[in-house]
Structure 1
């Protein structure tokens, strides 16, 4: 019998504007991993990939068990972030991974992209077209530092975290217990809720 699995892509911004927050990214991923260890039943159906982005995207961790999630503390910041290339990259990567899961006798649920950034891309005019092509996954945006709420609200078609919630808590609520997060991917971007307190 096929088993349901939930593919999740954690996209981490490593631009220079994120220099002071790379430690926070690492701590959030470690907290998420600890939450997975504490809830093995939920964690068993999660597969997580970690994607870095700056001028171009790169894979820090391919899709694997959530308890194996990598530490990003040693990543070095880059000069600028381009969002368009990471959305194009995810478009191809998600399709490839979903097909691979099917080939291995698993039944992938709708993927989640958890996008962690301050929302300050260098390709402000170009990225929306690439974002619009990324229709398969649910997109959740998590603002870090002096985050640009307008940009992140456009990105997070399912949910947006803009303060008051730790990264690890937001990841656990979104990925380990997705039924507790009421996705509204059909809402227009200006209707996506801004989250300022604990997720529930």
Structure 2
């Protein structure tokens, strides 16, 4: 039984596997979890603080790797393949279900759980109706502390967009969008290669996971974003107002 004060930060890597992701884009997306595993292996003490899960989505959403310690010898990293359309709503609904179950279990196991973080990578606009995906996103992210109405376990959401992903849609997925802990989105620079941008975005995810884990290990808390000056070429960061950082 872990020390009840031990804090865990869950990360959910959510990847669009619609048909438009086929080819080198999907190959580089498939490299994200192995690269995260390799990075954590260089500083295994961080695995006491970090848990990761992999979700893919197309016309539906599937948990491809349940929340886990990536360095657990029993973990087998899955390969993703393309299928279907681009249902943001399916991804958001599954995320709410998984986060609620995972956080509840971690707390039952004696952990203190930091607010989860979602890396949401897509190359296109949602094929759901606007009412469908916005409603599912509200169910995932809205919570009022005074009335205790909504989803108290809501995650921080960090969108990543390449190719045909609409920045005006993605900025609506940034959560929280305001305040001292506001999140941000990462976009492929216009004219850049989408597969190369995904590889660069993997670097951003790795940096955030390692920095956040180091922060927790040092007794602090909070999701850490890379400094905009340190971003890989071909990728830019922006806030919920659409202002580039």
Asked if Structure 1 and Structure 2 have the same fold, meaning a TM-score greater than 0.5 normalized by the shorter chain, the answer is yes
Could you tell me which residue of structure 2 aligns to residue 99 of structure 1? Answer: 104
Map residues 1-200 of structure 1 onto 2, 5 A cutoff: 1-2=3-4, 3-20=6-23, 21-67=25-71, 71-73=77-79, 75-125=80-130, 126-135=132-141, 136-157=154-175, 158-163=183-188, 166-178=200-212, 180-181=224-225, 190-191=240-241, 194=244
Q: 1:143 to 1:23 in 2, by over 3 A?
A: same
5+ residue gaps, structure 1: 183-188, 196-200
The size of the alignment, in residue pairs, is 188
Change (3 A) 1:132 1:192: farther
Structure 2: gaps (5+ residues): 142-153, 176-182, 190-196, 213-222, 227-238
CA distance in structure 1 between the aligned counterparts of 2:243 and 2:50, rounded to whole angstroms: 25
| CA–CA separation in structure 2 for the residues paired with 1:162 and 1:169 | 13
Using the alignment, how far apart are the partners of 1:23 and 1:168 within structure 2?
Answer: 12
Larger displacement relative to structure 2 (5-14 or 162-171): 162-171
**In 1: Cα distance, 2:187 partner to 2:123 partner:** 10
SS, match of residue 206 in structure 2: helix
Give 1:173 shift.
Answer: 2.1
TM-superposed deviation, 1:194 = 4.5
**Partner SS state of residue 188, structure 2:** coil
Q: CA shift at 1:193, angstroms?
A: 5.2
Alpha carbons of structure 1 residues 24 and 123: separation in structure 2 relative to 1, 3 Å: same
TM-score, normalization by structure 1: 0.84
The one-character-per-residue Cα deviations of 1:82-101 (angstroms, maximum 9, x if unpaired) are 11121111112111110000
Greater relative contact order (Cα 8 A, min sep 6): structure 1 or 2?
Answer: 1
SS at match of 2:168: helix
Contact 1:119 1:149 in 2 (8 A): no
Contact 1:48/1:63 (8 A) holds in 2:
yes
Q: Where does residue 147 of structure 2 map in the other structure?
A: none
Report SS of the residue matched to 1:127.
helix
Relative to 1, partners in 2 of residues 1:190 and 1:109: Cα closer, same or farther, differing over 3 Å?
Answer: closer
Cα RMSD over matched residues?
Answer: 2.2
Task: Specify the SS of the correspondent of 2:8.
Answer: strand
